[in-house]
Amino acid sequence: MNVTYREALHLALHEAMAADRRVFLMGEDVGRYGGSYAVSKDFLAEFGSERIRDTPLSELGFVGAGIGAALNGMRPIVEIMTVNFSLLALDQIVNTAATLRHMSGGQCSVPLVIRMATGAGRQLAAQHSHSLECWYAHIPGIKVLAPATVADARGMLAPALADPDPVILFEHAQLYNMEGELSEDDASWRCDIVSAAVRREGSQLSLITYGGSLPKVMQAAEMLAAEGIDAEVIDLRVLRPLDTDTILASVRKTHRALVIDEGWRSGSLSAEISARIMENAFYDLDAPVVRVCSVEVPMPYAKHLEDAALPQTPGIIAAAKRLLGKS
């Protein structure tokens, strides 16, 4: 069946709620409004206000409540409207949820799932448009996921809920309307939350990306193929822990790496990936690792400036050609 990314998330949430009464959803506008991105539409009527909880505008407060519920045997899913607002809950996420297993000597676990929209491209300016996945991928004690396909949007929630530790799901806002095929055979979309995915096989260079940049990278790979350039596309999917083995296997095959990251270049996830390649596959490289990242400015509101600030398909193609000495 053909579904949108939003519908795939809705299906995953509905399945989780129906299967386990310990699972509940809380966040701003998740109930009566049906979610800021309509992912929880109609859930309030079906599951009731005890399990679909609209919260006050206090990320620090309701993320803390989610941690307390997880510690007491529940399986909370906390929705934060946008990644920028998650900074208001950093103390709860970084200093509490991520550390409790370690600080309790393994006696406590926090099986908490936090969902949040991330990314730019919708003219919502700097307060609603940044890609801060790297900040969370820096933190031990949590898993960080970035589903970039309809199948992963459908398949990542169940293993996230089964994990005994906190899991953050980053849903790129530009993907909600993206459509894709989703087989009724769950083997096609069930997935783990430890492995990267090879989205396109190739031999001449590796294009490494995640989240909202994947469609642009796939388009770039097809356009490069039309010019006789065979690019492999790696979708990281899991940002912590990084699947270094899949990255290195690709680089050792193609001997060139181009990392596309909607985050800012300085201190970015692309920098970490580049370092791991240089540390582990330096002698397999035929050229230095190249990166395409967002321009280091707060995200502009004006459409032409927003587009200019973000990685785009033409820039990815140009970088790939330079890496191959074809520019």
Are residues 303 and 165 both part of a single domain?
no
Asked which of 165, 188, 211 is the last residue of a domain, the reply is 188
Mean pLDDT, rounded, for 246-251:
98
Q: Does residue 39 sit in the same domain as residue 143?
A: yes
Pair 39, 98 in one domain: yes
Domain boundary among 188, 205, 237: 188
Query: What are the catalytic residues?
Result: 59, 128
Q: What is the pLDDT of residues 11-49, one digit of tens each?
A: 999 999 999 999 999 999 999 999 999 999 999 999 999
pLDDT average, residue stretch 92-115: 96
Average pLDDT for the chain: 96
57 and 180 co-located in one domain: yes
Both structure tokens of 76: 């909370």
- Total domains in the chain come to 2
pTM to 2 decimals? Answer: 0.95
Specify whether 210 is located in the same domain as 94. no
Residue 281, SS3?
helix
R_g over Cα of the chain? 20
Quick one: which of 242, 232, 237, 244 has its CA closest to 206? 232
CATH code at position 257: 3.40.50.920
Residues 258-279: tens digit of each pLDDT: 999 999 999 999 999 999 999 9
CATH number at residue 68: 3.40.50.970
pLDDT at 181 over 90: no
Q: Indicate if the pLDDT at residue 187 is higher than 70.
A: no
Q: Measuring CA to CA, which residue among 171, 74, 186, 41 is closest to residue 114? A: 171
Long-range contacts of 270-275 (CB under 8 A, 24+ apart): 272/134, 272/137, 272/242, 273/208, 273/236, 273/242, 273/247
Q: Specify the higher pLDDT residue, 188 or 11.
A: 11
Q: What angle do CA 84, 91, 176 make, to 5 degrees?
A: 30
More confident residue, 183 or 94: 94
- 136 and 39 part of one domain: yes
Which residue among 133, 164, 188 closes a domain? 188
Q: How confident is the model at residue 183 (pLDDT cuts 50, 70, 90)?
A: confident
Q: Is the dihedral of CA 199, 203, 204, 206 positive or negative?
A: positive
Same domain for 97 and 221, yes or no, is no
**Domain co-membership, 149 together with 211:** no
With 0-12 / 13-18 / 19 or more C-beta atoms within 10 angstroms meaning exposed / middle / buried, residue 62 is: buried
What are 111-163's pLDDT values in tens digits? 999 999 999 988 999 989 999 999 999 999 999 999 999 999 999 999 999 99
Indicate if 230 and 310 belong to the same structural domain: yes
Same domain, 175 and 310: no
Residues 59, 205 within the same domain: no
> Where in the sequence is the domain holding 104, given as residue range(s)?
2-188
Looking at the fold, whether 265 and 211 belong to one and the same domain comes out as: yes
Number of alpha helices (DSSP H) and beta strands (DSSP E) in the chain: 14, 14
Maximum distance among all alpha carbons in the chain? 60
